[in-house]
Amino acid sequence: MLMLYTTIGAAIGIILLFAISFAMEKFSWRRFTVKNIAILGVLVALSVTLTNVIGYTVIFGMKIMLGNFVVFLTGMVFGPLAGVVTGLASDTVGAFIHLGGVFHLGFMFIKILIGFVGSLVFAFKSNRYWVVKMVVAYVLFILVHLFFLTPLFTWALYGTSFAQVNFIKKAILAPFQMVVYPFLTYSCFNVLWVLLRKDVGTSRAVWVGRHGTLNLVVKPRKTEYQKLIESKAVKPRKRVFNRQKSIKKDA
C-alpha cells in the first residue's frame, strides 16, 4: 500500500509543480526560443551522462551522481518551466538507459523538484545576494531530498532494511553535495551567462535576465583598452567612427 500511496502522491506533486511553473511564467512558452531549446538539449544530455553513465560508477561503496546540479542550473537560468521540463526529460531518458532499477514516480518528482527550486534563486525582483540564495536553496533541497523524500521512496520500493543502509550513505554524501553542487553550478553559470547576457532587457531575456544584469563574484578581467576608456585617456572607437562618417558627409 505504501508503494501505491507514494506513487499517487508523487504524481500529484509533479502535476502541481507543472501548474505552478506555468503560472510563474504567466502561462507562456516565450522562453523556449530556438537558441534556448538547443542549450536545454545539451544540458539534458549532460545531466543524463553525469547521472546515469558516470554517476553509477561506485566510489568507496557509494554512487556519486552529479547530474542534479545541471537540472538546478537549468531552472536557475531558464526559469521554472524549463527546469521542470529538463528534470522530466533527464529522468525519462535515464530510466531507459539504466533498465536494471525499479521505476518510481517519486524519483522523477525529485528531479523535477530540483529544477523548480533552482528557479527560485531569481524569482525575486532583486538580483542582489543571488549566490547566497543559490547556496541556501541547495542546502534546503539536499536536506529534504536526502533525509525525507529519498528514504521514503526507497522504503516504499525495497523495504526498511535497504532504506536504512541507503539513508546512512546519503547522510555521508550530504556535506559533499552541499559544497560541490554550488561550486559546479556557479562555474557553469558563468559560461551560460556569456551566451545569454546580451538578451537582457529584451523580450527574449531568459529567467535570470528578467530584472536586468547581475554582478558576478569573480568579474571578467578588463582589457587595457577598457581601462584606458574608463580613465578617459582615449575616446571610445564608436565615437571616432561617427566622427569619420560625418567628415565624409561634409566632403
User: What is d(CA 25, CA 29) in angstroms, rounded to the nearest whole number?
Assistant: 8
More confident call, 57 vs 241: 57
Tell me the CA distances in angstroms from 187 to 45, 69, 121, 190, 200, one per residue in order: 18, 11, 16, 6, 20
**Range of lowest pLDDT (59-63, 71-75, 107-111, 195-199):** 59-63
Whether pTM > 0.85 for this model: the answer is: no
Indicate if 10 and 38 belong to the same structural domain. Answer: yes
Kindly state whether residues 186 and 250 are assigned to the same domain: no
Look up the domain containing 227 and give its range: 221-251
Query: Residue 79 has which C-alpha cell?
Result: 526559469
The alpha carbon torsion through 206, 208, 214, 219 (nearest 10 deg) reads: -90
Does residue 101 sit within a domain? yes
Residues 156, 238, single domain; the answer is no
Any domain includes 225: yes
On whether both 20 and 48 belong to a single domain, the answer is yes
Write out the three cell numbers for 13.
506533486
Whole-number mean pLDDT of the chain?
81
Going by pLDDT thresholds of 50, 70 and 90, the confidence category of residue 142 is very high
Within this chain, do residues 241 and 182 fall inside the same structural domain, yes or no? Answer: no
165-221 pLDDT per residue, tens: 778 888 888 888 899 999 999 999 988 888 887 777 665 678 887 776 676 655 555
